[in-house]
Each structure stands twice: as structure tokens, then as C-alpha cells.
Amino acid sequence: MPADTPTEAVLGFPVYPNARYLASYDAGKGQQYHLFGTNASFQDMVSYYSVILRERGNRVFEEPPVHMFEVGRFREETMAFPPGVTIKDYTWNGAAGYANPVPGNEPTHYRTVVQIVPAVGGR
């Protein structure tokens, strides 16, 4: 696990056990998007987070499949994005998956990407 991998304590959300940290991006207003890749199926990830978060979440797109779990209160004045977990199927329509950002590392692609956005100042 890379040294800069955010911990579950920092994220405020659990990370799927075999998910690999891919990157973090500035979401604005002091928030970060944290991306994790896995070769678990999209549906398995939705089921896992439904149980762990005790939320059904919402399918926000059918094609490609994207499912969001908004957890915590969204405060427009202090947040750029609602805190929560977003899952996206990168193999939709025969795609190879999300390319591993580290060239030469295995796996070369991830079937599913989990995006975690912590709340500013905690959940």
C-alpha cells in the first residue's frame, strides 16, 4: 500500500478489503476525491457498500452504471461535493476497465472504481 494512501479514519468511510488506492484529486472547498480500484464486480461493490453503510444509495446512471451513497449532510457553502461513496463500472459496454495509473503494474485495468469523498471536518 503506498505511503500516501488515506486511512479509513481520514476518509470516514470503509475501503473495500482488496481495493487499491489509485489517486486523490482536489474537489474544491477543502475536499478531496479519493479513488480506489478493484476487480470485484460493480454489483458486488454496490451490495458491499449497501450493507456496510446501511444505505440503499441511488443508481444515478444506468449506462455506464454509477451508484452513489450520499452519507452526511451536504453544505453548499462549505462543500464542493456531497460526502459519500460513488461506484462506477468501468467495464460497461465491453470496455477494458480503468487503466492502472502505474505503468507495468498488475492488474493493468480495474473493473470497478470506488470514489470516496469525506466530509469537510468529518462526518
What pLDDT digit, counting tens, does each position of 13-59 carry? 999 999 999 999 988 888 889 999 999 999 999 999 999 999 999 99
**Stretch 97-121: mean pLDDT:** 91
Q: How far apart are CA 83 and CA 68, in angstroms?
A: 10
Q: How far apart are CA 64 and CA 75, in angstroms?
A: 28
Asked if pLDDT for residue 122 goes beyond 80, the answer is: no
**Stretch 97-106: mean pLDDT:** 92
Please tell me the predicted confidence (pLDDT) of residue 3.
61
Query: What is the average pLDDT score of the chain?
Result: 90
Q: In the chain, what is the greatest distance between 2 CA atoms, to the nearest angstrom?
A: 42
Exposure string for 79-117, b = 16+ CB within 10 A, e = fewer = bbbbbbbbbbbbbbeeeebbebeeeeeeeeebbbbbbbb
